[in-house]
Amino acid sequence: MHAARSILGLVTAAVLVAACGSTGPTPVPSAAAQTASAAAVVVTASPAPSPSAPSVTPSPSATEAPSPSPSAADYGAMFSKAVTDPFFAPHVVLKGVATVAGQMVATQGTIDVNDGIEHTVTTTIANGKKTTTEEISTSDAKYERRLGVWWAAGKPGAGDLSKVVTGIGGFVDAGPDTLNGAPVHHVTLPAGTTVPGTTIGLAGDAAASARVTLEGWADASGRPAAVRVTATWDQPNTGGATAPAQMTVDLTFEGAAPSVTVPTPDQIWKYRTSTLFHYRVAYPSSWEVKRGSKKLWDSYIGFDGTYFGTRGDVLKAWTVNSYTSYAVRHPGKWSGLANAKATSPTSLRVAGSQGRTLMVHGTYKGQVWWTINAVAGHGGRIYVLEMGVPRVPTAADKAMFAAFVANYSFK
């Protein structure tokens, strides 16, 4: 069940990566709200026996024996059924805290699972730095958003609560409880159950040393209302020693998830480096690439006519400002468009270098075109970045150009 992997594998993989940056290469989990107590241990909660109908002894008299009373609801079984249901589509809010070698990492975020697709957004705070991560996972692929665009990110994590639950026969009902003032039923795994460290995204020696507990709370219908995961383990560091680590993750189920869409191939970006023009840029992986020459730019062409072009040339007689001023004074010669007009340039940075940006619009073979341009200097070269669209640039067009700029570097 993908929801289970979201709850454990994705959550744990998000937070402790930040916490363990200084403790070694072993991948580690993330965390979510920590109570003031306690390191986790292997689940030892004594399960409450599943209620059953009382047995009835026939009366020796002619009087008919009473009918058995109906069984009480088995919240452990209902909770287990919901968690392992492949059509379970929850919206989950997570909060957590992890500590590795005394370094604390806090995280919060949301998980939405719908039609077998997971959408996770987490914000992590470590060493005073806040980092937001967005991921989408299917059964066989994972994508993450960085620098404003989606990237292929390999395979989803191995943690899967569904396998744990089905492998040990499910949760058991531990009796009534309250959650945020509402009546619920507390459910636990059977006493003595060992939850593998791999379930929370650990690997190697860290997974082998892990002690993980898992408990939940079911609402009146037996559906999950909350899940808490706690864990302790020994985190290997680069020197061969280990550091103590612990985490607590609290997940609250808040209704049904909205629809989740997997990025299409034209939304997945990848990098390309040009040795001719000395730059690296990311572009949509489905776009066509046309290599440039001494006379022609490198071009990246989309399906709707949208294109991105760039080059870096040694232009000894030009500066960024003079080159931009030429574009404003002679927009037709600059762009190759008829009846061209340019907007006033404004400042921006390209790969850390101060630059200028402007737009030019005109016609080419009767078709209206707009170009969004950036000019920057680095290492004695003038770099020009241009994205052209056959329309007035939309907010999405401008965001795409910003993504080209954000993923551009000099080589």
Residue-wise pLDDT tens digits, 233-244: 999 887 788 999
Query: Domain 265-410: what homologous superfamily?
Result: Mog1/PsbP, alpha/beta/alpha sandwich (3.40.1000.10)
Domain residue ranges of the chain, discontinuous segments joined by + = 2-40+71-256, 265-410
In the chain, pLDDT over 70 holds for what percent of residues?
79
pLDDT at residue 33, rounded to an integer: 29
Residue-wise pLDDT tens digits, 60-74: 333 343 433 334 689
**Closest among 271, 279, 314 to 298, alpha carbons compared:** 279
Range of lowest pLDDT (220-229, 234-243, 396-405): 234-243
pTM summary value: 0.70
> Would the pLDDT of 17 be above 60?
no
> Would the pLDDT of 273 be above 90?
yes
**CATH topology classification for 2-40+71-256:** outer membrane lipoprotein receptor (LolB), chain A (2.50.20)
Residue-wise pLDDT tens digits, 250-263: 999 998 878 777 77
Residue-wise pLDDT tens digits, 336-379: 999 999 999 999 999 999 999 999 999 999 999 999 999 999 99
Dist. CA 97–CA 345, nearest whole Å: 46
